Structures are given as structure tokens and as C-alpha cells.
Chain A
Amino acid sequence: MNSFKRDKKEEEDGGGNPFQNMEKTTVLQEARTFNDTPVNPRKCAHILTKILYLINQGEQLGTTEATEAFFAMTKLFQSRDVILRRLVYLGIKELSPIAEDVIIVTSSLTKDMTGKEDLYRAAAIRALCTITDGAMLQAIERYMKQAIVDRSPAVSSAALVSSLHLTSISGDIARRWANEAQEALNSDNVMVQYHALGVLYQARKTDKHAVTKLVSKLTRTSMTSPYAACMLIRMACKLLEEEDGNGELLDFVASCLRHKSEMVVYEAAHALVNMGKSSTRELAPAISVLQLFCGSLKPALRFAAVRTLNKVAMSHPAAVTACNLDLENLIADPNRSIATLAITTLLKTGAESSVDRLMKQIATFVSEISDEFKVVVVQAIRALCQKFPRKHAVLMNFLSAMLRDEGGLEYKAAIADTIIAVMEGNSEAKEAGLAHLCEFIEDCEHISLAVRILHLLGQEGPTSKQPSRYIRFIYNRVILECASVRAAAVTALARFAAACPPLLPNILVLLSRCQLDSDDEVRDRAAYYCAILQQQFDPTTLSLVQPPLLSIPSLERALNNYVSSPMEEPFDISQIPPAQTVEEPTQPEILATAKQQQSRLSREETFMEKLAQVPQLALVMSKSPLFKSSPVVELTESETEYNVKCVKHSFSNHLVLQFDCLNTLSDQLLEDVRVAIEPPEGYRVVYEIPCLRLAYNEPGTTYTVLEFPEDVHASIATIPTTLRFMARDCDPTTGVPDAEQGYRDEYMLEDLEVTLADQMRGVGKQGVDFNAAWDAGATRGFSELEETFVLGASVTTLEGAVQSLVGFLGLEAVERSHRVATDAVGHTLLLGGIFRGGKEVLARARLALADSQVTMQLSVRSSDPDVAELVTSSVG
């Protein structure tokens, strides 16, 4: 009571937070009070609260500090004060990841969890599970099983949720406790039912068949818990995603639209519209439910509905137009988030004529909404630019105004991304876009964004109408910004110099000034570019200024190999695979916020690491770097006794087949496993590396090394494969094989194809000038072949033709020529890359569309005439 009064007084004094200005060491000192007898519950509860507060404020405790506090805290178990005890549970949970020997409270917690005090039991279970490690798990298993089926819903829920957490310690916990969970599923408490379903799902998660059975059983009974029903909908959707054509599941989801709980109705509608495969007609019932929610009195429902509609509008604008009237009403919603979503949805579904009006409406409150929703607006504008290219001026202006506003990195990056995307999609917008971006970097506090924009300017600026106008903006960065921005600016300048000879003398002056910079990196770059650019101008300079993005680990390995060789021939850089470039998803759904997830290692790099672990492969690996790794090819049906997948690794002259095998029979142990192949004509099997032991459910790998045929034409082939092994029967539970000798057995696998795409790849020079390279090819004595094809019936669009050609050849599209303009009837696809062994290949495909039939004129130039012939002959 006293403290309450004091707090109130402090509040009036303006000193709100009683925990302000606490010091970690002082508080930990106070924790010694825990050792006093008898325990003073009120005092100890206060101190414990302080400790919890500190930890939750991000204060770091050392192991010793935490352990001491933890030990002192264990003394509090002698108090019977309920509040204090529950704080102790929290303390245990917070300290258990840091302190040592936390399992000493196991018995005390087990006692509380099985005791009579209901206020203790659920919380004790949660605390117990956080301190339990693999070794202790067995000791508590019995209690946990009992708790799952306990009469008290709180206890049962706590035990169910904890068993989900425990799966990180022991993967099969959920399966071992599935019987109890099954019983809990019959509980009439909504939460228990939901949590039990969660555990049952976890138990079956890896076995699709079992999930299907569970779902189809439960869809027939009706779930009383709305939470469980929502989860069931999600499980059904996941199954539907994996296999289509399960009408029963779809009917179930659709029937949930008539559920009596709004939550379930929403979940079902959300699921239906997100299923991707649904057609506009199938969407109609879901959309009308959402439409109904738009008029709800509950803001949360309105929000959920409009947010979902907003998303659907990207893929199925026509389906959403039915809600236009309801959405118009929501523009005036007192909740700004709802209003924003309503407007941006209308922008997607509305006609071109309404764009101006809606943009004006957004402008009135765009400054009031949070960054997250500003990003939604940006997204909508991005979609609009694609839909109405003629509106780009209005929209660009709007974007640049937004760019000047306050905002976080993510928001600004989304705007910059949108401007860049608009520029790429619409050449008319390029000049304006670059101008807006230049203006933006004049005053941009986000370093990473400034660096990206400078990079873009360096790439796009030189080919604009008036390159010289960008130089001032870029050079200003060198004067005004931090080191990393300055370095990026120097590189951008160098690109202008290399690509626009008239600018060279002036830029050289600027670059020589940069050589006086205080930062090492900036100086180094400037010195490097000055040195290259001062040499006589020739086209090769460009690739030095703008080097291809090579895979660094592969380059390192190749250089190491080269250094240990006699080094008689010059180092061949064309052997090095490019660094992986992440293609932006070209789905209809445009997510401006989707961060480009740059995986640190490319496929080849990861495989290279893996192959380097196999000593027998060292010989092949030392001769040339890994040229290309194919996607995974399944050689078996998915649910068979043995599962074999293949990855084809191409080297200059060798083909390494990596077979990943899985034995799904628990009563068999396989030994000496290999994949026998019949080498096609011209191929030679160099050696096999068998997998010595393939136990149940433990993946194993065997390799076969082949030499490519001399004649490249023979390299495209079909290889019959068979799995051969020594099988031994074993005890399914222990995996120990019987004493008797095994028997030889074999198992037929699917044929393996070696394709053109396995042997060709791009070189990561996104910015190359195709025409220059094409012409240079002629002067360098490349042989050229040209042929005309009519593409098969499966290809009916230009996009389809581009996609299948890129996939078939394995080359890389340059100058963004893989993007086909909408409604175009003709397109030219430009491809570049190399054939294994470093043979350059260029290809130009002129495509024409007439009556859903695509005709293609394909010209190929290559440094090796056989390769050129191989390409044209295998397309036909």
C-alpha cells in the first residue's frame, strides 16, 4: 500500500519508471538477501523483479553472475508465497540459458508440477522444460505424459506446448507422447485442443502420408476449438500445396467459410485466396466473406479483410473489383492503416482514370502512417507503373517526394527499388529516375543505399543521353561522404571514364585528386583506375574497370592449383564460375520489401567444399575447377524402398555423378553400395567410389567418375543406372545386423540424361555489350551457325520460349533480354556464356509469335566450331 502511494507521487513528480537508473552490480548484490532466513517474500519479490527487468532490458549477465544469482534464487523455494514462487519460475527461465548447473532445481520443480497447488503447476512445467537437457529428459518423461492428460486445462496446455519446445532437444518427443496428445485432443477446452493438435502434427510432420490421414480424419469430425480449426485449415492447405487434386480437402476449407467463428471464417478465406491455384470463380465465395468483414464493427476484422484483399488484388484484380464500393467507404476509416490498405487496393483494381484522384487522397495522410504502411503504398505504386506505363511521370514525382520525406532504411530502399524497377521496365523513365536518385543521394543518411545507387549510376549513367551531367553528383559524394560511399563513388566515376571516352580526361583529373584521400580503400581504387585508364583506350579496359563477379572461393582454389603447377601456360580465368546472382522473382506478386537473400556461397561453391572432402576425387579436382553442378535429379519414385538422387558435376573433361542414397527399410543394412552405369558410347568410367554402409534413414553418398567423350557431339547421352549393394537383414529397433552373411541385390533406377545445360553456363557479366562481343567474335575467328526452328506445341508464348531456351542451353541472358515486353509479337533473346573447357559461346535468338506458335531464328557463335554445331543440332 505504501509503495503504491509513493509510486503515485513519483508519477506526479514526473519520475515515472521506478526501475530507472538501476545498476546491475547493485541489484545482483541485493540478491544476497535471498539467502536470509526466514525469507522475506515481499522484499525478495521486489529484488527478483528488478533482476528480471534488467535482463529484459538487454542487460548481459556473465556466467558467474548468473550462476550466483541462480543459486541464491533456489533458496526461495522454502517460501510458500505464491507470487514469489511464480517469480522464481520466471527467474529460472530467464537465467537458465546463462547460468550453470541449472538442473539442480529439477526435483523442486517436479514436486511443484505434481503437487496440489494449481497456481504452481503449469508454470513449473514450463520452467522445468527450459532447464531440461537430453540427459534429464527421461527422468521427467513420466510426469510430462501425466501432465498432458491432466484435468486442469492450464496444466495440460503447458505440458503440450513444452513438449513442442522439447523437440529441439530430442526430435522424437512428440511421437513418443502422441498417445497422450491424442487423448488431450478430446478435451473440451479450446486451447488444449489446439495445442494437442500442434503436438500431433509435430509427431507426423515428416511423414506426409500420416499427416494426410490425420487431416482427413479430423476434417470429418468438427473441431470445437476455433484455434484448432484454424490450424487444421493450415495443415490442409499445406497438403493441397504439395499435391493438387484433393477435392476433399478443398471442400473442407471451403466449408469452413460457414463456420460460426469469425476467426475460422477468416482463416479459410485467407487460405483460399492464397492458394495460388484458385481461379477467379473459385475465389468468389472467399472474396464475398472478406467483403462482409469490410463492413464489420471490429477494426481488427476490417483490417484483416482489407489487408488480404490488398494482396489478392495483385494476382486477381478482377476478383476484387466487386468490393470497390466497400473499399471506397474504408478510405475514410479512422484507422489509418485500414485506410492506406483500402486506397492501395483500389489503386490496383481501379482504372487509369482514378489514379490521380487516389494519389491525391493518399498524399493527404501519407506522412501520418508508419513506415510499414508507407512500404505498402510504394508497392502499390510499383504495380501501377507496370500497369499504366504512361502514368510513370506522375508516379515518379510522387516517389521522389516520398524519398525526400523522413523514413527508415527499409522504406527508402523500397522506394529506390521501385524507381530502379520502373526504369528497367520503361526506358522512357530512365532519365527521370536517374535524376531523382541523384538528387536523393545528395542527402541520404543510409550508407548501404547510397552505395547501391552509386553502383547503379555507374552502370546505367554512361549509356544515358547525357552522361556528363551525373559526374558532378558523383564527385560531390567524394567530397562530402564517409569512406565507403567515397569508394563507391570512385568506382562509379571510373566506369563513366571507361565507357565514355570523351569524359576520360576530366575524370582522370578527378581521380588523381582522389589519390590524396585519407582512406586506404579510396586511394587504392583511385590509383588502380588511374593506372588502367591512363593506358591506351581499348575495349578490354571496360572489363577491368567492371570485372565480372567471379566466385571467390573457386578463384582462390584455382589460383592455388595454378601456383602449385609449373605455370607454363597463362592462368585461364574463364574457367572460374561466376558468383551466384540472385534473380528477382518474376511472379505477378511484386514485393517491394522482399530482401534479396544473398546466399554466401553459390551452388558450385558449396558442392566444391563437399567434393573436396572426398579424397578419391582429389585427382579430378586438381585438374580443373568445378564447372557446373546440375539441379538434383530424382532417380526413384518418392516413396520406395530406396531413394536415390543424382547431382551431375561437370569439370573440363570429367563428369562426376554424385548419388545421394537413402535406405528407408528399417530391417536392412546395405553395404558396398554403388550405382552401376553403362557408359554410353565415347564415355569412359574412370572409377567408382562406393558408399561402404547405408543404414536405415541415414543418408549416404556414392560417386561415379566419368570421362567425357573426345567428340562433344557424343556428350549428350542417356545413361541407364542400377543400384547395386550387399543387403544384410538387421534388427529394426537397434539396427544391429544379423550374424549371417548378406546377399547381393540390385534395384533398377531411372535413366540419367546428360544435357547441354550441364555443360554450359553464363559468366556473370550482366553488363556486357552483346553487340560488341558478337562483332568481336567475328574478328576473333569464331564460327557461326544459323538455323530456323518452329517451336513445339508446348510453347505458346514468347516468355515461355525464352524460359525454355535459357533452361535448355544453360547460358545466361545478357542485357536483360530475358524480359519480354507485354503484348510484344517479336523478341530478341541474347545469350552468352561458356562451354566446359572455356570455349566461349554467344547465341542470338530472334523470336516471333503468330497464332500461338513461336518461330525462332537461332544464330550461334563459338570459339569452337563443334560446340556451335552441337548447340544448333541439339535445339532441333
Chain B
Amino acid sequence: MGLFDRLANIFGLRKKEVNVLVVGLNNSGKSTVINHFKREEERCIDIVPTVGFNVEKFAFKNVHFTAFDMSGHDRYRSLWEHCYKDCQGIIFLIDSSDKLRLVVAKEELDMLLQHPDIIGRKIPILFLANKMDLLDSLTTVKLVAGLGLERILDKPWHIRATNAVNGEGLQPAIEWLTDQIRDIYINKR
């Protein structure tokens, strides 16, 4: 390690790397959201349902994110828990127009919160009420109630309505997550 690196480390200027986990039911828009965070020239043009998972990298406010974009298809949901241990933040996507499967989303969320690798950890969770542009989409208030988010007391969480297609709402959302991660992990180090 060079002298500069050591100095940088002391002053908290070192390149910060964090892992975030992106989960939510299939078709909720996870891959579309991540794609939006990437630099313009790295984005893909067409997004297809994810099989298994994908690892994507992007940076925001000098924090380097490694995002695990998991598949939301029920066949692969069991993969999520393999990544719980090593992540410093979670992005949970909800398709706010999919009222029918809101209970399924709640069930998955409850399982996540009760998992040994998550329970009791102060890990920030960012909820994205995606597809806000669709006509009959639920409001964030309704989603908080529907998912029972007020029960989450030991973790910082935040919910935000977004439109992953044009990026509306994503900027403040990721800003919140970055600040949380910075507070909890980086500044403490």
C-alpha cells in the first residue's frame, strides 16, 4: 500500500466499495433500475427477464456499488439468501401496479427480514414503489400499510415512488441509500 493510499484511508477518501442486493418479484423492474444507474455508454438497450442473477457495477457520490441483480422468478428466489451475508444495503422493488401479487411480495419480504443473516442487523433497506406511471398504481402510503413496513424498527428504511423507464424518483432514492451506507459502514471504519 502506497503512502497516498494510507493517507487517503485515514481521511476516509479511499475508494469505497459496497455490495447491494436488489430483490423483488419478477417483472417488478429490478434490472431496469440497475440499468439506469449505470453510465450512459454501459447501459443495455433491451432488458429480458433475468435467469439466476447478474452482477452489475456502478458508482454514485464516490461510492462504488456492486449490485447483485437477482431474478425475481419464483424458481430462483431461493438464491437471494445466499447473498444476504455480504451485502451492505438492500433495494426491494415493488411493482406498484401489481395489486394481485402484493401479498406475495409481503411474504418474500417477511422471509427476508426473518433470515438469520438479516435479523438484528442494522442494514438500510430502500423500497422502490416502481411503475408509478401506470394508471392504477398504488401510492406509497398504501404500500407501507400493505407491506407492513412500519414494523421495521431496527433498520433504516425508506420508500419512494419511481419510474424506472424514465428514471423519475431514482436519483433521490439512491442518494438516500448512499448516505445511509456512508453513515453506517464507511465513516465508522
Contact mask for chain A residues 100-140; partner B; CB cutoff 8 A; 1 contact, 0 none: 00011111101100100000000000000000000010010
Q: How far is the CB of A132 from chain B (nearest CB, A)?
A: 10
Judge whether B142 is part of the interface by a CB distance below 8 angstroms. no
CB-CB under 8 A from B44, the residues of chain A are 111, 114
**Complex CA distance for A687 and B1, rounded to whole angstroms:** 92
Task: Check B85 for interface membership: any CB of A closer than 8 A.
Answer: yes
B51 near A107: Cβ-Cβ < 8 Å = yes
Among B50, B52, B55, chain A packs the most CB atoms within 10 A around the CB of B52
A537 interface residue per 8 A CB criterion: no
- The answer to whether B82 touches A71 (Cβ under 8 A) is yes
A37, A38, A78, A106: the one contacting B52 at CB < 8 Å is A106
Number of B residues, CB within 8 Å of A: 19
- Report the Cα distance A107→B53, complex, angstroms: 6
Chain B residues whose CB sits within 8 angstroms of the CB of A136 once the complex forms: 51
B86–A104 CB distance below 8 A: no
Nearest residue, chain A, Cβ from B88: A37
Q: A38-B17, A78-B66 are in contact. Are A108 and B86 (CB under 8 A)?
A: no
B52 touches A107 (CB 8 A): yes
Q: How far is the CB of B15 from chain A (nearest CB, A)?
A: 11
Contact assessment for A104 and B48 in the assembled complex, using a CB-CB cutoff below 8 Å: no
Cα-based distance from A187 to B137 in the complex (angstroms):
51
- Pairwise interchain contact A37-B19, C-beta atoms closer than 8 A: yes
A107 touches B85 (CB 8 A): no
In chain B, positions 73-100 with a C-beta closer than 8 Å to chain A are: 76, 79, 82, 85-86
Q: In the assembled complex, which residues on chain B have CB atoms less than 8 Å from the CB atom of A74?
A: 52-53
The chain B residue with its CB closest to the CB of A114 is: B44
A38 to chain B: which residues have CB within 8 Å? 17
What residues of B have a CB within 8 angstroms of the CB of A107 in the complex? 50-54, 71
A77 at the interface (CB under 8 A from B): yes
Q: Give, as a whole number of angstroms, the nearest-CB distance from A824 to chain B.
A: 73
Q: Is A463 an interface residue (CB 8 A)?
A: no
Complex CA gap A813/B171 in Å reads 92
Q: A35-B86, A71-B82 are in contact. Are A104 and B17 (CB under 8 A)?
A: no
Best-surrounded residue of B19, B54, B71, B82 (most CB of chain A within 10 A): B54
The answer to whether B51 and A103 have CB atoms under 8 Å apart is yes
Contact A35 B85 (CB under 8 A): yes
Query: Is B48 touching A139 in the complex (CB atoms < 8 A)?
Result: yes
Q: Given A35-B86, A38-B17, verify A104-B66 contact (CB < 8 Å).
A: no
Contact among A35, A80, A104, A139 for B53, CB-based, below 8 A: A104
In the assembled complex, the Cα of A77 lies from the Cα of B53 at a distance in Å of 10
Contact B76 A104 (CB under 8 A): yes
Looking at the complex, which one of B17, B48, B52 makes contact with A103 (CB distance below 8 Å)? B52
**Are A108 and B53 also in contact (CB < 8 A) when A37-B19, A38-B17, A78-B66 are?**
yes
- Closest residue on chain A to residue B31 by CB atoms: A107
**Are the CB atoms of A108 and B55 closer together than 8 Å?**
yes
How far does the alpha carbon of A502 sit from the alpha carbon of B66 in the complex, in Å? Answer: 93
Q: A20-49, CB under 8 A of B: which get 1 and which 0?
A: 000000000000000101100000000000
Name the residue among A71, A80, A108 with the largest chain B CB count within 10 angstroms. Answer: A108
User: Using a CB-CB cutoff of 8 Å, which residues 193-233 of chain A contact chain B?
Assistant: none
Write the nearest CB–CB distance from A441 to chain B, whole angstroms: 61
Using known A-B contacts A35-B85, A38-B17, A71-B82, determine if residue A104 contacts B54 with beta carbons closer than 8 Å.
no
Cβ–Cβ contact B86 & A37, under 8 A: yes
Those of A43-84 within 8 Å (CB) of chain B: 71, 74, 77-78, 80
Q: Are B54 and A111 in contact (CB under 8 A)?
A: yes
Q: CA separation between A104 and B57, bound complex, in Å?
A: 19
Closest partner residue, chain B, to A102 (CB atom): B52
Contact B79 A104 (CB under 8 A): yes
Residues of A within 8 A of B50 (CB): 107
Is the beta-carbon distance between A108 and B17 smaller than 8 angstroms?
no
In the complex, what's the smallest C-beta–C-beta distance from B171 to chain A, in angstroms? 25
Taken together as a complex, chains A and B put the C-alpha atoms of A78 and B19 apart, in Å, by 10
Report the separation of the CA atoms of residues A38 and B15 in the bound assembly, to the nearest whole angstrom. Answer: 13
A731 to B108 Cα, complex, angstroms: 46
**What residues of A have a CB within 8 angstroms of the CB of B54 in the complex?**
77, 107-108, 111
Measured between beta carbons, the chain A residues less than 8 angstroms from B57 are 80
Shortest distance from the beta carbon of A112 to any chain B beta carbon, whole Å: 10
Give complex CA distance A77, B68 in Å: 10
Contact A139 B55 (CB under 8 A): no
Q: How far is the CB of A644 from chain B (nearest CB, A)?
A: 47
Query: Inside 8 A of A80's CB, which chain B residues have their CB?
Result: 57
Q: Closest A-chain residue to B76, C-beta based?
A: A104
A77 touches B51 (CB 8 A): no
Residue of B nearest to A72 (CB): B82
A142 and chain B: residue at smallest CB distance? B48
Within the complex, the shortest CB–CB distance from A849 to chain B, in Å, comes to 74
- Digitize B38-50: 1 where CB-to-A-CB distance is under 8 Å, 0 elsewhere: 0000001000101
Residue ID in chain A nearest B68 by CB atoms: A78
Interface residues in A175-195 by Cβ distance below 8 A to B read none
Whether the pair A77, B55 counts as a contact (CB closer than 8 A) is yes
Q: Which residues of A contact B48 (CB under 8 A)?
A: 139
Q: How long is the Cα–Cα vector from A738 to B55 in the complex, in angstroms?
A: 51
Among B19, B52, B76, which residue has its beta carbon within 8 angstroms of that of A108?
B52
How would residues 325 to 354 of chain A score, 1 for a CB under 8 Å from any chain B CB and 0 otherwise? 000000000000000000000000000000
What is the distance, in angstroms, from B46's C-beta to the closest C-beta of chain A?
Answer: 10
Q: What residue of chain B has the Cβ atom nearest to residue A143's Cβ?
A: B48
List chain B residues, Cβ under 8 A from A111.
Answer: 44, 54
> What's the nearest-Cβ distance from chain A to residue B76, in Å?
6
**Whole-angstrom distance between the Cβ of B170 and the nearest chain A Cβ:** 21
Residues of B within 8 A of A77 (CB): 54-55
Please report the C-alpha to C-alpha distance between residue A80 and residue B42 in the assembled complex, in whole angstroms. Answer: 15
For B19, the chain A residues whose CB sits under 8 A away are 37, 78
A207 to B23, CA, bound (A): 50
CA A38 – CA B54 in complex, angstroms?
A: 17
- On chain A, the residues within 8 Å of B52 by CB distance are 74, 103-108
Q: Closest Cβ of chain B: how far from A548's Cβ, in Å?
A: 60
Which of A77, A104, A110 has the largest number of chain B CB atoms within 10 A? A104
Shortest C-beta distance, A76 to chain B (Å), equals: 9
Asked whether A104 lies within 8 Å of B55 as measured between CB atoms, the reply is no
CA of A111 to CA of B35 in the docked complex: distance in angstroms? 12
**Please, how many angstroms separate the alpha-carbon atoms of A648 and B50 in the complex?**
57
User: How many Å lie between the Cα of A80 and that of B64 in the bound state?
Assistant: 13
Contact with B along A820-835 (1 / 0, CB 8 A): 0000000000000000
| Cβ contacts under 8 Å, B85 to chain A | 35
Distance between Cα atoms of A104 and B68 in the complex (Å)? 13
Residues in B neighbouring A103, C-beta threshold 8 A: 51-52
Query: Could you give 24 example pairs across A and B, Cβ below 8 Å?
Result: A35-B86, A38-B17, A74-B53, A77-B55, A78-B19, A78-B68, A80-B57, A103-B52, A104-B51, A104-B71, A104-B76, A104-B79, A106-B51, A107-B51, A107-B52, A107-B53, A107-B54, A107-B71, A108-B52, A108-B53, A108-B55, A111-B54, A136-B51, A139-B48
Q: Interface of A with B (CB < 8 Å)?
A: 35, 37-38, 71, 74, 77-78, 80, 103-108, 110-111, 114, 136, 139
Interface residues of B (CB under 8 A from A): 17, 19, 44, 48, 50-55, 57, 66, 68, 71, 76, 79, 82, 85-86
Given contacts A35-B86, A80-B57, 18 further A-B contacts (CB under 8 A): A35-B85, A74-B53, A77-B54, A78-B66, A103-B52, A104-B51, A104-B52, A104-B53, A104-B79, A105-B52, A107-B50, A107-B52, A107-B53, A107-B71, A108-B55, A114-B44, A139-B48, A139-B51
